[in-house]
Amino acid sequence: MREDFDRIAGLSREGGWDHNSHYHPLLLRQLPLRLHEALEVGCGTGAFVRSLAGRSERVLAVDLSPRMVEVARARSKGYTNVEYAVADANSWPFPEGRFDCVASITALHHLPLAPTLRKMGDALRPGGPLLVLDLYKARSPADYLVGALGFPASKAIRLARTGAMSGPRQPPELRRAWEEHYATDRFPTLAEVREACAEAGLRGARVRRRLLWRYSLVWRKPMR
């Protein structure tokens, strides 16, 4: 997996609208106006990190891929309140009760779901939100219906945001790198996500099916 993402990072382009960035505003609306410290797990090239940096005194961002972190640092020049670290979330010692927000975008499906959710929740201060955006496997009729609606919705939203029905054509090398990576990916069903939340002790977590083949998970750590 590390090799996959090192390869993808070296081929990736900066900026532009995509299916993940479409939901950044939705995630940011779950936050207070100001945070002391935030954490992103699986930060990639740092797009959401830079959004968090505008709301936080400090952001710590970790990713398995050294090349992803290298690219994220290069794209985050001028963000003096951001720290990036190369780390495997499976073995990284999540500090308990440290962060005002913990976020993860399209990274959680690479990790053991319930154990990682538990560690992310434990890392929050009381009252802090856990925010997840990720892909899911369609299983129910509603999943397939919303998935089908995602195709025209994606084109319409892109047109409204960028003025074009489709984005810039990916270089063949990047497209091939993603195809080879996705061939080994496994995405959870929404039922599995909800079961993992229950197993992790995230009582009251809101798991919502979204357009563009994603789900959101929002949970707020109870006040003591």
**Element holding 211 (H helix, E strand):** none
pLDDT tens over the chain, length 224 residues: 888 888 888 888 777 789 999 999 999 999 999 999 999 999 999 999 999 999 999 999 999 999 999 999 999 999 999 999 999 999 999 999 999 999 999 999 999 999 999 999 999 999 999 999 999 999 999 999 999 999 999 999 988 988 776 666 677 888 888 788 888 899 999 999 999 999 999 999 999 999 999 999 999 999 97
Distance CA 128, CA 132 (A): 13
167 within a domain of the structure (yes/no): no
Is 45 within a domain?
Answer: yes
pTM, whole model, 2 decimals? 0.93
Within-domain flag for 47 = yes
pLDDT of res. 138: 97
Within a domain: 160 = no
- Which ranges of the chain does DSSP label H, i.e. alpha helix? 2-11, 24-28, 47-53, 66-75, 113-122, 141-162, 172-182, 190-200
Any domain includes 162: no
For residue 107, the one-letter residue type is A
Which pLDDT value is given to residue 14? 76
pLDDT of residue 224: 79
Count of the separate structural domains present in the chain: 1
Is 197 exposed, middle or buried (CB count within 10 Å of its CB: 0-12, 13-18, 19+)? buried
The answer to whether position 67 is within a domain reads yes
Domain containing 129 equals 2-138+181-220
Instruction: Identify whether the C-beta of residue 84 lies closer than 8 Å to the C-beta of residue 61.
Output: yes
Domain assignment present for 73: yes
- The CATH number that applies at residue 99 is 3.40.50.150
Whether 69 is in a domain gets the answer yes
What residues contact 91, with CB distance under 8 A and at least 6 apart?
Answer: none
